Structure 1
C-alpha cells in the first residue's frame, strides 16, 4: 500500500523584485490599494499599512499612462522610507499603459480578455478560421513588444483571466465556460514560451467559487499537457466583506491550496486592504499544517474510509436518526421576534407536538 503526503505543486521560480515566488519559496500574500493612483501620498501610506500587516506584494490600479508613470514616484517614496516590497501594476484595455508600467513596477498584470481584443460587444459572435487566426496574430504583434520591455527591465507579468471579461472571439468558440477561460490564458502563455519569457504568473478568477476552482484545476491540467509549470495566483473575485467574504474566499482559495496549488494569494474583501492580509495568512497557515499528514486514496485502500466516510448507524426516534435525513433544530432567542406556536422549539420533540402537561 502506498502512502501519500500533502505536497505543493512544483512551479517555476518567478522573480518579482526582491521577493521571488514559486519553486520552493513560501506562498506569498498580497493585497491591492483602493486609493487614487495619482495621489502619491495616499498610495504610499496605504501600501505601508498593507506591508506592515504582512503583505508581500502591493498592487495598484493603473487606468492610464499618467497613473502608470506615477508608479515611479510611489515606488521611489516607498524605497526612500525603507520598504522594498514589490509593486504590481493592474492594467486593462491598453497595451501602451502596460508598457509604461513595466518601467516602474516590479510586476504588471494584464487581462487577456481585453489586452488586445475589444471589450465585449456581442456584435460579432461568429469568426471564420481566417478571422480567428488574424486576431491571434494581432495579439502577437502587441504582446511581444511588451515582453521585450519586461525582459529589458526584469519585470514580471501576471496573465490574469477574469470570468466576466472574456472577449467576443473566445466566446464565439467556447462560450462563457471554464474551457474558454483556460484557452484565453493559454493563447498568451504559448507566446511567452515561444519568446522564452518565463517570468510569468497566472491567475484565473471568478466570483463563483465552483467555476473558479474547476477552471484553475483545468488550467493546471492543460499546462501539464503542454509542459508548462507557471506559478499560480489564487483569488475569488469580489468575495465581499464580513463573514460572507471570508467564507467564500476560504471555499475557493482553500480548496485549491489543499490540492497543492497556489504560489501567491489575495483575499478580495470590500474592506480596508490591510484587513485582507490576516485572512490570507490564516488560510495559508491552516493548509500548510496538513503537510506531512498521511493520505491514502480510496482506490488503493477501499477498506478504509479516509475519503468516503460512512454515516454512523443509529436507532430512529420519531423523525430523527435511522435512515432519515438529518434534522435541523433552531433556537429563537430574540424575544421581539414573533414565532408561530407550532414552530416553537419547546413545543416539539422529535417532530411530534408535546402534550400540554409536558411543555
Structure 2
C-alpha cells in the first residue's frame, strides 16, 4: 500500500480545512448551546429535526392539527409564518392550544419584511427566524455603487432597525435564527459582494455582529440555496469566517431551499445536507419538499440517523495533509480524456447488470435504451445509460451504438469485439497484465484506497487508456473516496475516475439519500467523471438505479438531463395549491431538458428564492400569477387559469419550447 501519511500543510492549507474538524474522521463540530424552549440545540445534543406548517396562520385549529401531525412524525421544532402583526398575534392562540393538548414542542416564527411582527412574535414563541436579505431592505434589483462611508451608513441604518428585536429576544430568552437565502440577498449585498457564497455569509455576519455587540448569543445560523453546490460552499465559508473573526461557534440549521418534490427533492436535499453532515457540520435539519410537511421529518431523520454510530462503525482513514481542493468554489478536477471519460465530457453513467445476464433486448428499457422492431432500430431517451457492466457474462446480442459494454477482464479476453467491449480489472490483475495486451482505448481498473500502491500509481501514470473505478466498503465512505482523490491530485495523476457505491442492506426509502450523499458529496467538489450504483437484479431496481444516478448528477449540477423544478415547500403565505400546481406544470413541461422553472407560492419566495431559475411562476394574489424570465417579471396579474399556457408562451418566445413526442405526452 502507498504511504499515506500526511505531508506538512501550509498556512493556506490549514485555513482551507477550518470548515470541518476532520476531512477523514467523523467528528461533529463543537458549538455553543442555544436554548429553544426545553429542546436545546448544539453539539452537546442530538441533531434536531424541524419543519414548517403550510396552513394559514390565522387558521388556529388547522395550524394546531397540522403541528400535531408534524410533531408525531418527528418534528422537534415547528416553524410558522408570521407575515404581518395579525399572524404574529395569533401565534399565541396556536401556542396556547398546543400546550393545552400536552404538546410543548418549541414554536418558531418565520419573518420576512416585517420587523414589527418579529418584535411581537419574539415575546410569544421560543424562536424567531429572520432573513437578513429582507428584514431591513427592499429588493429593487438595482446595482448601487457604495463608498466605504455610504456603506457604513447603511450598516448603521440596519443596526437601528434590528436592535429592538435583539433586545427583546435577549429580555425574553427567545432564540433567533439568522437565515440567509441565496435568492433573497439584498441589493446592497449584491452590489458589494455579488451573487456569491461570500455575499451570503457577509449578509448574515452583518446582523450577527450587531447581536454580539449586544452580548446576545442565543443564535442559530443558516445559508440556504436551491443550488446544492452554492449551499455547501456557503456553509463551509461561514464556519471558516466565524473562526477567523473570533466569533462564537454557533449551531447550524441545514437545508436546501425549494428542493422540490418526490425523489428529485430528496436527492437534491441529500446532496446538500448530507455533504455537510459527512464533515460534522449541522445541528438541525429541515428538508424542504413540495409535499405535506409531516412527510419532511422522516426524510430529515433518515439523513441524521446515518451518523448516530458513524464514528464507531467507520474504519480509520489516513489524515489529509495537503488538501488540494478549494472547498469554497466549484472547480472540476482536471483530467485527460480516455475514450469518452474525463476531459470536457459530462460524467458518465454505468448501469450494473453483472448479476443479471443480458439475453433480451427488452432488458435495456430499464436504462433508457429501446429496441423498435418495425424500423429495426434502437432509440434512447435522455436517461440512457452510457455503459453497461455485465461482469463475467457478456451481453448475448450486439448492443445499440449509444451503449458500450464493460466486462470482467477474464471474460473480456475471450471476446472478439474490442471496439465496443472494454475490460474491468482488479488492481492485482492490472499490475499482472502489464505484459499482456489490453484494450488500446479503455481499461477500467477497480481500486480502493488501501490498494493504491506506488507501483499501481506509476503504472497508471504511464497508461493513457486507464480509468479508475473507485470503490469502498468503509461506513465513512465519502471521506475515504475523497481521500483517494486527494492522493491522485497530489500525485499529479489526471486519469478519469468513476465513483462506485453499493448499498445492499439499505431500504428503498433510504437508498436515494445515501447514494446522493456519498456520490453527490464528491461531485459538488468537482470530483468524479462517472457514477455506478452497483447491485440490483430486477428491471425495476435497475431502472431506479439508473434514474437515481442521473438524478444525482443533475442535483450536483454536473450533468443536466431533465427539466428542473425549483418549488417551495408551501407555508401559510402560499396563494395557491403548490402540490397541484407543480404537478400540472410538470405534466406540461417535463420534456424540456435543462430548463429550470421556479414555482413559488408567494412574493416572499418569488424572484429571489428562485435565484437561478430560467422562468418563474409566482403567486401574487388569489388566483393571480406573475410570470418571470430569470429574475425579471414580464407578466403581472395573469389569471391562474391561463398562467401555465402563458408560461409556455414565454418559453416559446425564447425558442426553448419543444413539442413533446408521443412517448412523452
| TM bin (shorter chain) | 0.7 to 0.9
Q: Alignment partner for residue 70 of structure 2, among 38, 42, 50?
A: 50
Structure-1 separation of matches of 2:136 and 2:340 = 60
2:135 and 2:349 mapped to 1: Cα distance?
Answer: 52
Cα shift at 1:288: 3.0
2:231 equivalent to 1:198: no
- After TM superposition, the structure 1 stretch with the greater mean CA deviation from structure 2, 163-172 or 126-135, is 126-135
Please tell me whether the aligned partners of residues 69 and 100 of structure 1 are also in contact (alpha carbons under 8 angstroms). yes
Structure with more helix by fraction: 1
Instruction: Indicate if the aligned counterparts of 1:49 and 1:274 stay in contact, CA closer than 8 A.
Output: yes
Q: Structure 2 length normalisation: TM-score? A: 0.48
1:211 to 230, 247, 263: 230
**Residue-by-residue CA offset, 1:86-134 (whole Å, 9 max, x unaligned):** 00000001111110110111100001011112x2213342122222111
Q: Structure 2 vs 1, CA of residues 174 and 326 (structure 1 numbering), >3 Å: closer, same or farther?
A: closer
Distance in 1, matches of 2:350 and 2:42, equals 44
Residue 121 (1) aligns with residue 140 (2): yes
| Counterparts in 2 of 1:320 and 1:74: CA distance versus 1, 3 Å | closer
Among 11, 34, 51, the residue aligned to 2:31: 11
CA distance change for structure 1 residues 178 and 81 in 2, over 3 Å: closer, same or farther? Answer: same
Count of residues paired in the alignment: 335
Provide the residue aligned with 1:347 in structure 2.
398
Bigger fraction of residues in strand = 2
Provide the rounded CA distance (Å) in 2 between the counterparts of 1:327 and 1:42: 46
Match of 2:15 in 1: none
Asked if the contact 1:254–1:287 (Cα under 8 Å) also holds between the matched residues in 2, the reply is: no
Alignment of structure 1 residues 277-288 onto 2, 5 Å = 277-288=297-308
Structure 1 contact 112–188 (Cα < 8 Å) conserved: yes
Shift of 1:290: 1.8
The DSSP-based 3-state class of the residue aligned with 2:311 is coil
Query: How many Å separate the matches in 1 of 2:35 and 2:59?
Result: 28
Question: How far apart, in 1, do the equivalents of 2:229 and 2:364 lie?
Answer: 32
Question: Are 1:297 and 2:319 an aligned pair?
Answer: yes
Contact kept? 1:32, 1:59, Cα under 8 Å: yes
Structure 1 position 187 matched with structure 2 position 206: yes
How far, CA to CA, are the matches of 1:206 and 1:347 in structure 2?
A: 45
2:61 maps to 1:64: no
Which of 26, 43, 51 is residue 46 of structure 2 equivalent to? 26
Please report the TM-score for the alignment, with normalisation by the length of structure 1: 0.86
Aligned to 2:168: 149
The unaligned stretches of length 5 or more in structure 2 are 7-21, 323-338, 342-346, 352-362, 380-394, 406-416, 421-665
SS of residue matched to 2:179: strand
CA distance in 1 between counterparts of 2:305 and 2:194 reads 37
Kindly indicate whether structure 1 or structure 2 has the higher relative contact order, using CA contacts under 8 Å at least 6 residues apart. Answer: 1
Answering whether residue 128 of structure 2 is matched by residue 111 of structure 1, we say no
Of 335-344 and 5-14, more deviation after overlay is shown by 335-344
| CA separation of 1:335 and 1:162: change in aligned 2, threshold 3 A | closer
Asked if 1:332 corresponds to 2:352, the answer is no
Aligned partner (choices 239, 242, 248) of residue 268 of structure 2 = 248
Query: Which of residues 276, 284, 288 is equivalent to 1:264?
Result: 284
Query: Secondary structure of 1:288's match?
Result: coil
Q: CA RMSD in A?
A: 2.9
Aligned mates of 1:97, 1:7 — CA distance in 2:
39
Distance 1:320 1:184 in 2: 42
Q: CA deviation at 1:337?
A: 7.9
Measured in 1, the distance between the counterparts of 2:153 and 2:221 equals: 25
Task: Output the CA distance in 2 between the equivalents of 1:53 and 1:189.
Answer: 33
Cα contact 1:6–1:295 (8 A) shared by 2: no
Displacement of 1:298 in angstroms is 4.4
In structure 2, the partner of 1:95 is 115
Alignment pair present for 1:138 and 2:171: no
> For 1:81, which of 77, 98, 101 is the aligned residue?
101
Question: Which is further off, 283-292 or 191-200?
Answer: 283-292
Aligned equivalents of 2:58, 2:243: Cα separation in 1: 41
Aligned equivalents of 1:327, 1:245: Cα separation in 2? 20
Q: CA deviation at 1:348?
A: 2.1
Supply the distance in 2 between the matched residues of 1:337 and 1:146 (Cα, whole angstroms): 65
